[in-house]
Chains A and B, each alone.
Chain A
Amino acid sequence: MTGRMPRSVDDFMACACAMEAEAAERYAELADLMAAHANRDVAGLFAKLAVIEGKHRDQILEQMRWTTAPSSHTFEWETPEAPETTDPGDLHYLMTPHHALKLAEHNEQRAVEFFERFVRARLPAAVRKAAAEMAEEEREHVRLIQEWLAKVPPPERGWDDDPDPPNVAD
């Protein structure tokens, strides 16, 4: 993070909550985008991931006894956007569920690494403890995604083969 690092557990958990919230919003946007391009499978998958991240956000809210997520614009991520947020540049309209889950796996992995930096940083013990817990949570998420990945077939040869030329829309 640029600027200030959270020095209290409250600050830290607000940051973690913002991350989950942003990830959820992004998955929802991407679900809409893929639906608009008739990629139902991946749209459905992103929609599920949006719900899952939403649950993670809600878990934090419950744990902290907050009613709303604290606003995230005070946090500045070092990496492109929040660590768990999918880069829209990584999509392809013909991408398969396998590709989508690989993106999700990457997102969760980045989240693990992000929290581990707090564990190693010079911060109050309570914050480092909270960070360690979050890192473990994210590791669990990585495992779940990997289990999901194992059930999904790898992309077929020619998955991105579309014989039709692009359209003019304007």
Chain B
Amino acid sequence: MTPPDHTAMTTGGRCTSVSIALAGSGGAGVMTAGNMLLEAAAHAGFYAMMTRSSGPQIRGGEAAALIRIATRPIDCMADRFEILAAVDWENLQRFSAEIPLDAGSLIVGDPDVGRPPEVFTRTGAAYAPVTLKKIAKGIADGRPNMLLLGLVAGLVELPEAALHDAVAKTLGKRVAALAPSLAAMAAGRAAAAAIERRFSLATPPPRESARWLLTGNEAAGYGAIKGGVRFVAAYPITPATELLEWLAPALAEVGGTLVQAEDELASINMAIGGSYGGVPSLTATSGPGLALMVESLGLAVAAETPLVVVDVMRVGPSTGIPTKSEQGDLNIALYGMHGDAPHLVLAPNSVADCLLTTQWAVQLAESLQCPAIVLSDQFLGQARAVIDEPAGTGDAVIHRAVAAPGTTDYQRYALTDNGVSPMAIPGTPGVAYTADGLEHSERGTPSSQVTDHTAQLDKRRRKLELTDYGAHWADVEGDGDLAVITFGSCTGPLREALAHTPSLHVRLISLRLLAPAQPGRLAAALAGVRRALVIEQNHTGQLFRYLRAECDFACELTSLHKPGGAQFQPGELQQHLLEWSRA
């Protein structure tokens, strides 16, 4: 049974969501065209999201820009693409799983370069041949990708003015390219008029707030700065590199510094050094880098040094698939440190949420004087989206509790009631101390006494357990005696699946604070729930096992998980939920 197609909903014959794939190879420029389409949609008042797929070649290989345009906020890609428009078909069948089509879809291609691969045509999608190359040749400096852009914009009735602005903005100083691009787009638009099948977008609602266009990585970088980070040490790794490349100039603009370290071991230790010096510090990496960092994260726990590590998760284990998303680093984030080393683990659940979660992570790390690992992922990190102005945590920069100068008999690791002991910042007279990974007394002197060890372990755990994490610990939405529990980028398709299935009365709990576990809050959120399903994107059900270990469940708890490499789709989840709810 085909799941009901809920994403291409129509309002009076017009679409509230359209998904377009622009594909081609060998320097066709489909990414550029895709970005222009995204910008045009943004200018025209739509919400939108773009992801990308490419072959293993660094240049010239097959590539697809995947764009979804909608009249309401979106946090995921749709179940099917309305349009697949390609400059050529070189190796594009490798993207067939990422560009699902059906009988309602349209394929546009150049008959002079061959027929679309069978894997696309056998879906029953309509095929509209357009002699892109020929038409482009008739325009001075005309390029097929711009023709395709104009054509696709015509099929969805994206306003020309918005497209014009987007193209002009993207081309920037290359003014010589503007006229040919516009001419090519116009020709494309004209060619669209001859195509019967179209997917005219409904008018977007008027803007109620500012709109932003950014990636999850950029949102996380900005959230870090908002939280107060002014020192970053990092080593490039896919898919975190763009977060660092955004931060490098941005930090400098606000008086901070980013240093490229020789590797992740250096990065984490540089960040710890910076934080010890009193400057909120951060590093960003992916799974393999986090694996290198765990020893030093333990140091940050033991020495009670605030620190944020953003892990933009990719498919593992080991080198894995660097360009695809997975939620497989929960285990190492929770359990990677040797010894008992309580710390914070958080996860943003949308592109916009990367800002709030990272900002909050900085605030928590600073106030609780411990490391916070932020589990973002490749999908969120690299998706470029048009969103409503994102919320921050609403708080100003949180400053860590610092020791006053000249405090008599200063005890760096004093056993306070709430577990947080003021930290002396180098430069402050009278309170100098030596931070230590060795177990220590309240004073900070290394100690092998079991009493000190127990007292410090209790302190480090107490400070995390006694904190009131407020409303941000999770997003709890909807109601019913069924519940789904998830985190990260599974949230987007889940929200969409539930929004389009009113027959399902399901409470959604998207955890933002993963560690320390919140059994009490989770139990409260599950009040009245008979059955709960834990949904995640990894092979072994890491969240499911963690929750079972940490919490008691009055309701039945089962697991739905699949490995990374392909995001959950709203329709796929809807299908699972309907079956599960009836079981």
Contacts and interface: CB of A to CB of B under 8 A. Distances in A.
A164 B27 contact: yes
Contacts of B63: 164, 167
A93 B59 contact: yes
A8 interface: no
Interface in A111-170: 157-158, 161-170
B25 interface: yes
B436 to A, nearest CB: 38
Interface residues of B, number: 29
A93 B60 contact: yes
Contacts of A109: none
Interface in B51-102: 54-63, 88, 90-91
Given A167-B54, A168-B239, A38 B31 contact: no
The residue among A37, A157, A165, A166 with the most chain B CB atoms within 10 A of its own CB is: A37
A169 B57 contact: yes
Interface residues of A, number: 19
By CB atoms of chain B within 10 A, which of A93, A161, A165, A168 has the most?
A168
Contacts of B138: none
B322 interface: yes
Contacts of A40: 26, 90
Contacts of B319: 170
B54 A38 contact: no
Contact of B88 (A36, A38, A157): A38
A93 B26 contact: yes
Interface in A61-92: none
Nearest to B25: A38
Contacts of A169: 54, 56-58, 322-323
Interface in B115-161: 141, 145
Given A164-B31, A168-B238, A37 B54 contact: no
A39 B60 contact: yes
A168 B88 CA distance: 22
B58 A167 contact: yes
Contacts of B90: 38, 40
Contacts of B60: 37-39, 93-94, 162
Given A158-B141, A164-B32, A165-B31, A36 B61 contact: yes
B29 interface: yes
Nearest to B90: A38
A17 to B, nearest CB: 34
Contacts of B62: 38
A94 B323 contact: no
Interface in B21-49: 25-32
A88 to B, nearest CB: 15
Chain B interface, >50% SS class: loop
B57 A167 contact: yes
Contacts of B30: 164
Contacts of B26: 37-40, 93-94
Nearest to B88: A38
Given A38-B90, A40-B90, A94-B27, A167 B61 contact: yes
A168 B61 contact: no
A73 B189 CA distance: 60
Contacts of B239: 168
Given A37-B59, A40-B90, A94-B27, A163 B322 contact: no
Contacts of B58: 166-169
B238 A163 contact: no
Nearest to A41: B26
Nearest to A159: B27
Given A38-B91, A169-B323, A162 B61 contact: no
Contacts of A36: 57, 61
A167 B141 CA distance: 25
- Most chain B beta-carbon neighbours within 10 Å: one of A38, A40, A170: A38
B32 A37 contact: no
A168 B91 contact: no
A163 B29 contact: yes
B27 A162 contact: yes
Nearest to A165: B31
Given A38-B90, A164-B29, A170 B238 contact: yes
A163 B143 CA distance: 11
Contacts of B323: 168-170
Contacts of B88: 38
B206 to A, nearest CB: 33
Contacts of A168: 58, 238-239, 241, 322-323
Nearest to A169: B56
Contacts of A158: 141
B139 to A, nearest CB: 13
B216 to A, nearest CB: 16
A170 B319 CA distance: 9
A6 B521 CA distance: 87
Contacts of A93: 26-27, 57, 59-60
Top-9 shortest CB links A-B: A38-B26, A38-B25, A93-B60, A162-B27, A37-B60, A163-B32, A164-B31, A38-B90, A163-B29
Given A162-B59, A164-B59, 12 more contacts: A37-B26, A37-B59, A157-B141, A162-B27, A164-B28, A164-B32, A167-B63, A168-B238, A168-B239, A169-B56, A169-B57, A169-B323
Interface of A: 36-40, 93-94, 157-158, 161-170
Interface of B: 25-32, 54-63, 88, 90-91, 141, 145, 238-239, 241, 319, 322-323
29 contacts: A36-B57, A37-B25, A37-B26, A37-B57, A37-B61, A38-B25, A38-B61, A38-B62, A39-B26, A93-B27, A93-B57, A93-B59, A158-B141, A161-B27, A162-B59, A163-B31, A164-B28, A164-B31, A164-B63, A166-B58, A166-B59, A167-B58, A167-B61, A167-B63, A168-B58, A169-B56, A169-B58, A169-B322, A170-B319
